[in-house]
Amino acid sequence: MTVFGFHASHEQIHPARLLEAVIHAESAGFDAAMSSDHFSPWSARQGQSGFAWSWLGAALQATDLPFGVVNAPGQRYHPAIIAQAIGTLAAMYPGRFWAALGTGEASNEHITGEVWPRKDIRTARLRECVDVIRALLAGEEVSHDGLVTVDRAKLWTRPEQPPALIGAAVSEATARWCAEWADGLITVNAPTEHLRRMIDAYRDAGGRGPLHLQVHVSWAPAQAEAEAIAYEQWRSNVFAPPVCWDLEMTDHFDTVSEDVPMSKVTDTVNVSADLGRHVGWLEEYVGLGFDQIALHHVGQEQRAFIDTFGEQVLPKLRTTG
């Protein structure tokens, strides 16, 4: 049966309030949680960006939920540091933590002052980072000279069982490439046929492990309110790669999204006041074979969404999924 989780959006919500939200989500019936990992928000309107790894320790302690995080090692984060972070959380909370690894976005990575590489270089760099992280989690001493440099690193605190390293992808080509190394695949909501092709590309290339999906939703009791929430908070997030990868500053995103039509937002976010429509959308994703679906209500106020979906959406999905 598909697991339904709560997505913790650090770009939008103060970490103390976000901790309250994930605790509330567990009590409302959500079975898992997932965390973003950003240095800056996508828009000044979102207005937050807490440090995910500090928050994850608190959230794992405060709940019994399994957690995942989406991380981009290689520029802002040295892979040995990420291996240490993953290893510590997995040692403290066995069987409850996984990490998804991707190539990242300039909006987070430019802060180092290093050149933001081409996508092919970022992809090669990520693969080096994956190999370094795996070797460290396996207990090896690692030295590496390449797109990242590691000198005689060794993890002294490790979990008995290394956690899953999930591949993050939004295209068929990347999904196929992730099959070479990943313990599972994660992507975001998109048209059903595109998601099916991504899953097929991953599985046909030998991809193993669970399929994760992050779903952006906007719900409110009135349709106009649901649309206003999505437009105010998420219209900066409608741009396809490479735009979303390469813009650096929140004011860049805010400038290019000034005149985004509502139709572009509803291509990215499942917007409706009708809970039946949300059930229908989610049933389609379940039908594709996703093992875990993390729901991200794109508004900054989470309680009404958590209560309503916990009471009226998740039970219906569990009877059909």
Every domain of the chain and the residues it spans: 3-320
Asked if 186 contacts 212 with a C-beta cutoff of 8 angstroms, the reply is yes
Average pLDDT of the segment spanning 126-142: 98
Q: What proportion of the chain, given as a percentage, has pLDDT over 70?
A: 99
Picking from 75, 52, 30, the residue whose alpha carbon sits closest to that of residue 292 is 30
pLDDT of residue 319: 81
What is the second-level CATH architecture of the domain 3-320? Answer: Alpha-Beta Barrel (3.20)
pLDDT of residue 168: 98
Distance between CA atoms of 69 and 318, rounded to whole angstroms? 24
Looking at the whole model, is its pTM more than 0.85?
yes
pLDDT of residue 63: 98
pLDDT in tens, 250-259: 999 999 999 9
Helical packing angle, 52-62 and 15-28, nearest 10°: 30
When the pLDDT of each residue in the chain is averaged and rounded to a whole number, the result is: 97
Q: Is the predicted pLDDT of residue 184 greater than 70, yes or no?
A: yes
pLDDT in tens, 64-102: 999 999 999 999 999 999 999 999 999 999 999 999 999
Q: Is the predicted pLDDT of residue 321 greater than 60, yes or no?
A: no
Q: Is the predicted pLDDT of residue 320 greater than 70, yes or no?
A: no
Average pLDDT of the segment spanning 36-45: 97
